[in-house]
Structure 1
Amino acid sequence: MPGLDELTRLLGTPSLHAHAPTDWSGTERYVGSSLPSDFKMFLDSYGPGVIADELVVFHPQGRTPLLERMHKIHGTWTEARSQHPADFSYAFHPQPGGLISWGYDYGGDEHFFLPCDHHPDSWKIVTMAHEEGCEVFDGSFSDFVIAFMNRLQVMDETGNIRPAVPSFEPY
């Protein structure tokens, strides 16, 4: 997978972390589908953590398990959508075709898969941008993370704005 190979090149070889093989069955049973293969391969290799000090990804066996977070986020956003339907372009899982949560960033944005195809590897990424609506990314999880890191700007200790450094911090 070219995107996953590039992401691994940018982030470096995953540190060896002792964990049992990932059991995706409960999460995929809830979703009603497999999840995108590069997403699962990334998490199987790196585990849960923070990418570029900004983008948080969840794992089925993480401190906050992916399935637990999915239930919470889907419920919260479904309730918000029921109160303000004009503010939300998409339904949330378990509604048919509803967005499927996988992470967030420290800027307050939530990130979801849009199950727009029978093949999960063709799903898009939707970002619910804090107070700005939705942004749709037509590409894989790996390609999204690379694009996210490429556009991320951070302020260094001297107050200068610079590009973010690709990194992964497990938690």
Structure 2
Amino acid sequence: MTSIDRLTTLCPPPSPPTTPPTDWPAVERQLGMPLPTDYKQIADTYGPGTFCGFIHLYHPHAHTPWTSLTGPMPTTIRAQLQQERAQYSHPLPADPQDLFPMAVTDNGEYLFWVTRPATSPDQWTIAVNQARGFHWYSHDGTLAGFLTAVLSGQETVPLFPNSLLDHGAAFTPLIPAGTLTAEQPQPNSTMAPSDDIRAWARSHGYEVPDRGRIPAGILDAWQKANNS
């Protein structure tokens, strides 16, 4: 049984698929790098959505640029890591340019591929950062293996809530088919300064940390409010 078979047996995908087929060569050209085979299988099988209502996988067909694999977030997050690396002495699992974010949690943790070696994506491992701190968790395996281990309870990520599996392993699709494709123009990806986003969030009742990464849910809310 393959890693994808184990994942889909543990956590059944939607049927039928919620998105049209992805033109992966076009996505990889846009990103300027190859992608792991298991990620492409997961994205094609599940579509955009959330595992256990907590882990949001970035997807080429995402309904918002802030959860799009080809949107502005990977560049933005890498820039934040570079800034933190210059300001603080905490260790990173790899150089920021070798960390590519491909998922985010409701708490604001990011899941990264450690993209080494760059030309062998099926050998990439997984790293998870702390949302409001400098701790990291590493998984020496693929994304499919990571999701299967976490959603089965065989592997515990200390950064994730203890209640993650209270309702079992489940996947919830987020959008109908065809909302956004890799071939369509990307939405406006110009991001306001982080201080402006923090000020907006606090004025609208959100709790946002004074430093570090702004949670994806707040970025999504800001985007919707300022582009409507």
TM-score, with length taken from structure 1: 0.80
Paired letter, 1:141: L
Q: Tell me the equivalent position of 1:58.
A: 58
The answer as to whether partners of 1:50 and 1:168 remain within 8 angstroms in 2 is: yes
Greater radius of gyration (CA): 2
Between structures 1 and 2, the one with greater strand share: 1
Paired letter, 1:22: T
Mark the CA change 1:91 to 1:74 in structure 2 (over 3 Å): closer, same or farther. Answer: farther
The answer as to whether partners of 2:77 and 2:101 remain within 8 angstroms in 1 is: no
Q: Distance in 2 between matches of 1:47 and 1:34?
A: 19
TM superposition shift of 1:7: 0.4
Mark the CA change 1:29 to 1:133 in structure 2 (over 3 Å): closer, same or farther. Answer: farther
Q: Tell me the equivalent position of 1:170.
A: 173
Q: Distance in 1 between matches of 2:62 and 2:136?
A: 27
The answer as to whether partners of 1:113 and 1:126 remain within 8 angstroms in 2 is: yes
1:20 aligns with 2:20: yes
Q: Tell me the equivalent position of 1:158.
A: none
Q: Tell me the equivalent position of 1:133.
A: 135
Paired letter, 1:125: I
Q: Distance in 1 between matches of 2:76 and 2:134?
A: 21
Identity over aligned residues, as a percent?
A: 26
Structure 1 segments of 4+ aligned residues over 6 angstroms from their partners: none
Q: Distance in 2 between matches of 1:88 and 1:67?
A: 27
Deviations 1:43-97 (A, max 9, x none): 10110100011111121012023210xx3243244245225432351333xx3xx
Q: Bigger CA drift: 56-65 or 10-19? A: 10-19
TM-score, with length taken from structure 2: 0.62
Q: Distance in 1 between matches of 2:147 and 2:167?
A: 12
The answer as to whether partners of 1:81 and 1:87 remain within 8 angstroms in 2 is: no
Deviations 1:75-120 (A, max 9, x none): 244245225432351333xx3xx21111111132100111112311
Q: Distance in 2 between matches of 1:134 and 1:18?
A: 33
SS of match in other structure, 1:154: coil
| Number of matched pairs | 159
Q: How does 1:11-90 map to 2 (within 5 A)?
A: 11-64=11-64, 65-68=68-71, 71-85=72-86, 86-87=89-90, 89=92, 90=94
How big is the alpha-carbon RMSD for the aligned residues of Structure 1 and Structure 2?
A: 2.3
Mark the CA change 1:38 to 1:7 in structure 2 (over 3 Å): closer, same or farther. Answer: same
Unaligned stretches of 5+ residues in structure 2? 175-228
Q: Distance in 1 between matches of 2:18 and 2:140?
A: 34
SS of match in other structure, 1:61: coil
Q: Distance in 2 between matches of 1:143 and 1:107?
A: 22
Q: Distance in 2 between matches of 1:62 and 1:115?
A: 22
Q: Distance in 2 between matches of 1:27 and 1:6?
A: 26
Q: Distance in 1 between matches of 2:83 and 2:13?
A: 43
